[in-house]
Amino acid sequence: MKHQPSPSILQRILQFQRDELTSSILYEYIAGRQKDEGNRTALMEIAKAERSHYKTWKGYTGQELRPNMLKIFFYKIIHMLLGDTFTIKLFEIGETFGAQELREIEEEIPEARTIMKEEEEHEDRLMEMVDEERLHYIGSMVLGLNDALVELTGTIAGLTFALMNTRLVALSGIITGVSATLSMAASNYLAERADGNAKALKSSFYTGMAYLVTVALMVLPYLLLPNSLYLAAFAILLAVVVMIIAVFNYYVSVVQSIPFWPRFAEMGTISLSVAAISFVIGLLAKHLLGIEI
């Protein structure tokens, strides 16, 4: 066993040791699901290096640790839902904080510098390796999602205060949403074909699916609540809109390594502003036309 570090440093090393073991298991898990042999080999090499770091830290602590099973379970779910790139990028964010901590202890633990360098090399290698199909269609997903949010938020907001009946609003939203999904997917396909994109059909699929999923989430409160609770359904709708915008922009910010808040603020402002304008139009239309439902 190597020289005993100070108690405060020892606690950090124990955390590093557990994180390295956890990371090695997660990299092995992702590697086992790769179709590309090069990706699989690279990930297994990184997992092996993480395991080596675990043994290095063990030389200081003298302890055999268990991995963080909750973290492993969480990342397995994330990987299943959001794919290789997002999961690996989250690893990368965690390792950035780890690198900062390693710099703080490298005077007392010289090997920390070597480990830090290897972690940075892992990052570079991973970024060269990752090429996930769905990332080629983020633009198509943004098109479908953004159009659904802007159009449907405004439409449902206007209908909510014009009809004051959750079932009627839901029916109108479903009809509008499905029709708009087909229209958006077809328009995207024709536009991509005109630009000579050989994968125009797949691009239109991602656009249509993003639109349809958004519609389903937005209409759901009106299907679940009684007719008289249209105000509650509208409040939940707004919360759902903010949630969709936040989740999608966080996904994009992670996989593309771009700032989250500016994109979130821009999309949120546009969608909620349209909802507010449509709310006023719905009230005015009901009043001016003398419609009572």
User: 118 lies in which domain range?
Assistant: 7-131
Residues 139 and 277 both lie in one domain: yes
CA distances in angstroms from 31 to 78, 84, 91, 161, 237, listed in the order given:
15, 10, 14, 52, 39
> Residue 292's pLDDT is what?
62
1 lies in some domain: no
| Residue 12, in any domain of the structure | yes
Indicate whether 127 and 185 sit together in one domain. no
- Residues 63, 197, single domain; the answer is no
| Within-domain flag for 2 | no
Q: Which of 131, 158, 185 is the last residue of a domain?
A: 131
pLDDT by residue for the chain (293 residues), tens only, comes to 566 778 888 888 899 899 999 999 999 999 999 888 878 888 888 899 889 999 999 998 999 999 999 999 999 999 998 888 889 888 777 665 466 677 778 777 878 878 878 777 776 776 676 666 677 788 888 888 888 888 888 889 888 888 889 999 999 999 999 999 999 999 999 999 999 988 899 999 999 999 999 999 999 999 999 999 999 999 999 999 999 999 988 988 988 888 999 989 988 898 788 777 877 787 787 778 776 65
In terms of domains, do 121 and 185 share one? no
- pLDDT at residue 43, rounded to an integer: 87
- Both 171 and 32 in a single domain? no
